[in-house]
Structure 1
Amino acid sequence: MDLKAKMPSKVESIAVAVGDVIKSGTPVAVLEAMKMKSPLVCPIDGTVKSIAVAVGDRVKPGALIVVVE
C-alpha cells in the first residue's frame, strides 16, 4: 500500500524504518501544513518496504511517503 501526502506539506518526522513490521493505526510520519502537524497513519498491518522522503522534504499532494506491504 502506498501512503501519500494529502496536501502540500513538509515532512516533520518519520516514525518507521524499512523492514519494520507495523499494525493498522501505526503513525508512520508527521506532515506539517499551514503550521498544523498531521500524523500519516497506516490503515493496514504490514512491513515497511520503502521510505520515499526524508525529514525536511517538501511534498506535493499525492507524493509518495511510505510503501507498506
Structure 2
Amino acid sequence: MAHEIHAEMVANVLNVVAQEGQTLAEGDTVVILESMKMEIPVLTEENGTLTKLAVKEGDVVQEHDLIAVVE
C-alpha cells in the first residue's frame, strides 16, 4: 500500500536527500524544507521504496502539497 508524504506548511525545498527507487526505512529523511530560516526534515513513516518524488530543490510547497510516495 502506498504512503503519501505531504507538506505540513508552506516552505522552500532546501535539499532533496532521497532518490526515486531508493529503499527507505521508517524515519529516513526524504527532503529538507526551509521555512522562516528553520530547516525541517521530512521523514518517511514506513519502510518501502520511494516510487515518486514530486518536488525538486528550490521548489516552494504549499500546505498539503504532495512531496513523495513510498510503497
Shorter-chain TM range is over 0.9
Q: Percent identity?
A: 35
SS at match of 1:25: coil
The CA deviation at 1:14 is 0.8
Cα distance in 1 for partners of 2:69, 2:45 equals 12
The CA deviation at 1:38 is 0.4
Q: Name 1:60's counterpart in structure 2.
A: 62
Gaps of 5+ in 1: none
Q: Name 2:6's counterpart in structure 1.
A: 4
The CA deviation at 1:42 is 0.4
Cα distance in 1 for partners of 2:7, 2:34 equals 10
Q: Name 2:38's counterpart in structure 1.
A: 36
Scaled by the length of structure 1, what TM-score is found?
Answer: 0.97
Question: How many residues were matched structurally?
Answer: 69
The CA deviation at 1:46 is 0.3
Does residue 1:17 correspond to 2:23, yes or no? no
Deviating above 4 A after TM superposition, structure 1's stretches of 4 or more consecutive aligned residues are: none
SS at match of 1:56: coil
Scaled by the length of structure 2, what TM-score is found?
Answer: 0.94
The CA deviation at 1:11 is 0.2
Letter of the 2:65 partner, please give it: A
